Amino acid sequence: MKVGVVYKLESSKLAEEVERFLNAREIEVELHHIPTPSLEKCDIIVTIGGDGTILRTLQELKDPPPVFGINTGKIGILTHSNPENFREWLEKAVSGELEIEEFMRIQGESKNDELVALNEIAILSVSQARLIEFEVHADGNMIDKLRADGAIISTPLGSTAYSLSAGGPIIDPYQDVICFTPISPFRIGFRPWVFSGNRRIRFRLLPLRDAVAIADGYKAIELSAGDEIVARKSDYPARFFKIEKRIERISEKIKVLR
């Protein structure tokens, strides 16, 4: 068994502790402070950091192994343990005692590029305070044409991230749906749409202004007039060791966000 450990530089000591803990169980360990696609060959990934560390790691991986998160940040909804109690839970993870859950990821394709996101693909104007104009289609059906600062195409897990700030609903993480939420739309009667996860959501940029599509806040591709992003459920979900009462944890996070 091989475990990849992704850690933030300020947690290198904790990373070594994790390494020793795993080596003592005769598990091979790879340490990475920058996530790379090679992590895909590991049997398990351990992240040391916050939800952001997990998001960045998963972006590098086409078909990610299961993730175990040690939380060194603020409230996380994806992490499994903290620096104090990681041994107990990591022991269970590597010995196969913890169930593995799958969560939908979203992929976005443009002419030349591809993005994958666990939370959202945000499409934003290149100029602050300047609108972009776009159409939204679902499986070939035109849903709307609108002007806005941007738009967010989010997964259920991402519904409590950027989408929430833009006015989106909270979505059950175990559901396969794609949520479309405009950001500061010029017309005031727009509402978020929750589409079936089987639909292809097509975002088509109209000539008003260039835009940029950003996956989980990290990876970006540029869009010009006429360019499209076709978003759909990825064939390769994220996999996480099971957390008890995940929906209660989301509910707790929301209370903190008020």
**Residues forming the site for a copy of itself (CB under 8 A):** 122, 124-126, 128-130, 138-139, 141-144, 148-150, 159, 162, 164-172, 174-175, 177, 179, 183-189, 191-196, 199, 212, 214, 217, 245, 247-248, 251, 254-255, 257-258
> Nearer to a copy of itself by C-beta: 95 or 245?
245
Q: Write 173-179 long-range contacts (CB < 8 A, 24+).
A: 173/103, 173/246, 173/247, 173/250, 174/101, 174/103, 176/104, 176/233, 178/106, 178/153, 178/154, 178/231, 178/232, 178/233, 179/152, 179/153, 179/154, 179/155
> Nearer to a copy of itself by C-beta: 65 or 237?
237
CB of 225 to a copy of itself, least distance (A): 18
Establish whether 43 is a catalytic residue. Answer: no
> Nearer to a copy of itself by C-beta: 39 or 166?
166
Sign of CA dihedral 181, 186, 187, 189: positive
The SS3 assignment for 51 reads helix
Give me 232's structure tokens. 């759909």
> Nearer to a copy of itself by C-beta: 80 or 199?
199
CB of 166 to a copy of itself, least distance (A): 5
- With contact defined as beta carbons under 8 Å apart, do 21 and 63 qualify? no
Sign of CA dihedral 195, 225, 126, 186: negative
CB of 122 to a copy of itself, least distance (A): 5
As a whole number of angstroms, the distance between CA 243 and CA 231 comes to 28
Element (H, E) at 44: strand 44-49
Beta bridge partners of 44: 3
CB of 180 to a copy of itself, least distance (A): 9
> Nearer to a copy of itself by C-beta: 32 or 202?
202
Q: Which one is catalytic: 43, 51, 113, 227? A: 51
CB of 131 to a copy of itself, least distance (A): 8
- With contact defined as beta carbons under 8 Å apart, do 18 and 90 qualify? yes
Which residues are the active-site residues?
A: 51
